[in-house]
Chains A and B, each alone.
Chain A
């Protein structure tokens, strides 16, 4: 990629936060070539490689599956590898870290809180009894697979947490992705748990006020809002009908 004279440029206003130097984030502007096939992430790597080596951000697969490069682009939570720069032409375009998380540096946020929450919902197949020998699989029909498949598509990019006003106001809220992943196992025909103890809580499904933004920003169409509302129904039924427990 060469920036020839006729290549148009777009101004990227990037949030910088350098602990010890900045008391709070400040914006720094960079002009980058506006190429048809460049994603916002390509603009950022251009800055890092050519203009300012000190800009920090996470990225890896640049094909929308590793979940590293979520940021706030013009106020909206986006995967920067899957968002074309031309969408914001002629600019300027504002890049900020994902909202709702502590900022470690520049565009890098602290996601350890999510990892702890994910662990807490037992995101693994819970079985009772002895593990069968490794000679045959558990049977699962395509329909049974379909029942949870959508919730298994979560890439942990955390755009949903960033878009969720409940999480931003109350960091104790279990949050969209963790609940969707709990449902991914709850609805799996091979699983024998319903995770009632961790989901049927004020800070879990009942904390959700159904704003629906998590579903709107999800790049993988997981629909966490649906996962949460469905669990509310299951939890309510289980509370009034004790025998409905699986």
Chain B
């Protein structure tokens, strides 16, 4: 179906329409936007955590564990990692909470409520964390 495009005679007001300028501070305009942008920023800390983990692996394989431990024990590094932990947890929790949006599960024709999917995710997360903790800490 085509919309009749205006043309000819009197010209077109399409050119007269007001188009607002791009708003560079859009993320400050509502709380929802700000929270969204903050959450996006937590990805940086997730990335840092991965880099830190790779450094650890490299240190173990390369035999430079004491140097790495010294670096990790510096106050600013501890501070950075505390912030990174908080940000990563926030990212993980919100990620798991959003999962029901992407996966709609139906049992018996009824939609499984969001809290059950979220609860399942968090439980699975906790179990995996416990398992890792057990493997790492048993020695």
A–B direct touch in complex (beta carbons closer than 8 A): yes
Residues of A within 8 A of B (CB): 17, 19-20, 22, 24-25, 75-76, 99, 102-104, 110, 112, 115-116, 119, 141-143, 146-147, 165, 168-169, 209-213, 216, 223, 225-226, 229-230, 232-233
Contact partners of B109 in chain A: CB under 8 A: 141-143, 146
Render B24-62 as a binary contact track against A, CB cut-off 8 A, 1 for contact. 001101101100100010000000000000000000000
Cβ contacts A to B, 23 pairs, < 8 Å: A17-B18, A24-B18, A25-B18, A99-B20, A102-B14, A102-B17, A102-B18, A103-B19, A104-B17, A112-B3, A141-B109, A143-B106, A165-B27, A168-B23, A169-B26, A209-B40, A211-B32, A212-B98, A213-B32, A226-B101, A229-B98, A229-B102, A232-B102
Interface residue? B74 (CB, 8 A): no
Asked whether B17 lies within 8 Å of A210 as measured between CB atoms, the reply is: no
Residue of B nearest to A215 (CB): B101
Known: A102-B14, A146-B111. 11 other contacts (CB 8 A): A17-B18, A19-B17, A22-B18, A25-B18, A103-B19, A104-B16, A119-B1, A168-B23, A213-B36, A226-B100, A226-B102
By the criterion CB–CB under 8 Å, are A212 and B36 in contact?
yes
For residue B22, CB closer than 8 A to chain A, the reply is yes
A146 to chain B, nearest CB (A): 7
From the candidates B13, B22, B30, name the one contacting A75 in the complex (CB within 8 A). B30
Task: Report chain B residues within 8 Å CB of A115.
Answer: 3
**Interface residue? B132 (CB, 8 A):** no
Provide the bound-state CA to CA distance between A225 and B100, in Å. 11
Known contacts A103-B17, A143-B106, A225-B101; A211 and B23 CB within 8 A of each other: no
> Which chain B positions have C-beta within 8 A of A169?
22, 26
Is B83 an interface residue, CB under 8 A from the partner? no
Kindly state whether residue B103 has any CB partner on chain A within 8 Å. Answer: yes
A-B contact count (CB 8 A): 76
B104 in contact (CB, < 8 A):
yes
Q: Is the CB of B13 within 8 A of A19?
A: yes
Give, as a whole number of angstroms, the nearest-CB distance from B120 to chain A. Answer: 16
Interface residues on B, range: 20 to 34
Q: Which 5 A-B pairs have the closest CB atoms?
A: A143-B109, A19-B16, A229-B102, A102-B17, A103-B18
Docked Cα-Cα span, A155 to B78, in Å, equals 52
Q: How far is the CA of A118 from the CA of B16 in the complex (A)?
A: 25
Contact B18 A210 (CB under 8 A): no
Contact for B101 among A75, A99, A112, A229, CB less than 8 A:
A229
Q: Please indicate the chain A residues that have their CB under 8 angstroms from the CB of B33 in the complex.
A: 165, 211, 213
With both chains docked as a complex, state the minimum distance between the C-beta of B115 and any C-beta of chain A, in angstroms.
15
What is the CB-to-nearest-CB distance from A153 to chain B, in angstroms, rounded to a whole number?
A: 15
- Tell me the minimal C-beta distance from B72 to chain A in angstroms: 33
Contact of B36 among A76, A143, A211 (CB under 8 A): A211
> Nearest A residue to B13 by beta-carbon distance?
A19
Give which listed residue, A19, A168, A212, contacts B26 with CB less than 8 A.
Answer: A168
The answer to whether A102 and B19 touch across the interface, beta carbons within 8 angstroms, is yes
